[in-house]
Structure 1
Amino acid sequence: MDIQKNNKIISDPDNKDFRLKNFLYYGRTEKNKKITKNRKIMSLIFILGGLLILFVFFLLDPSEYYYYPPCVFKELTGYNCPGCGGMRSLHLLLHGNFLEAFRYNFLIILLTPFILYWIIYEIFLLFDKRLPVPKSPLIITIVFLFIMLLFGILRNLPYDFAKNISPY
Structure 2
Amino acid sequence: MDASPSPAAASGPPGHRPAPVLPPGPPPCFPPAPVPRSAVRRLATPVGVMAAVVAAFGYVGAVDPNQPGHYPVCPMLRFTGLYCPGCGGLRSAHAVAHGDIAAALGSNALAVVGYAVFAVLWLVWMVRASRGRPVRIALAPVWMWGLGAVLLIFTVVRNLPFGSMLAP
What TM-score bracket applies, with the shorter chain setting the length? Answer: 0.5 to 0.7
Change (3 A) 1:81 1:126: same
The corresponding residue for 2:82 is 79
Aligned length: 134
The whole-number CA distance in structure 1 between the counterparts of 2:61 and 2:134 is: 28
Structure 1 position 50 matched with structure 2 position 71 = no
- Structure 1 vs Structure 2: percent identity of aligned residues? 23
Change (3 A) 1:91 1:131: farther
Greater strand percent: which structure?
1
The corresponding residue for 2:28 is none
* TM-score normalised by the chain length of structure 1: 0.63
The corresponding residue for 2:27 is none
Structure 1 position 59 matched with structure 2 position 62 = yes
Task: Select 2:155's aligned residue among 147, 152, 156.
Answer: 152
The whole-number CA distance in structure 2 between the counterparts of 1:75 and 1:48 is: 32
Shift of 1:137: 2.7
The whole-number CA distance in structure 2 between the counterparts of 1:145 and 1:138 is: 11
The corresponding residue for 1:98 is 101
Kindly provide the CA deviation profile for residues 62-106 of structure 1, in whole angstroms up to 9, marking residues without a partner as x.
102522122111122111111100110111122221122111111
Q: Indicate if the aligned counterparts of 1:121 and 1:131 stay in contact, CA closer than 8 A.
A: no
Shift of 1:149: 0.5
The whole-number CA distance in structure 2 between the counterparts of 1:70 and 1:124 is: 38
Give the structure with higher Rg (CA): 2
* TM-score normalised by the chain length of structure 2: 0.63
Change (3 A) 1:124 1:78: same
AA aligned opposite 1:91: H
Q: Indicate if the aligned counterparts of 2:60 and 2:94 stay in contact, CA closer than 8 A.
A: yes
Task: Select 2:113's aligned residue among 106, 110, 113.
Answer: 110
Change (3 A) 1:132 1:41: closer
The whole-number CA distance in structure 1 between the counterparts of 2:87 and 2:42 is: 32
AA aligned opposite 1:163: S
Q: CA RMSD in A?
A: 3.2
Change (3 A) 1:116 1:138: same
The whole-number CA distance in structure 1 between the counterparts of 2:128 and 2:67 is: 37
Structure 1: gaps (5+ residues):
1-31
Q: Indicate if the aligned counterparts of 1:40 and 1:125 stay in contact, CA closer than 8 A.
A: no
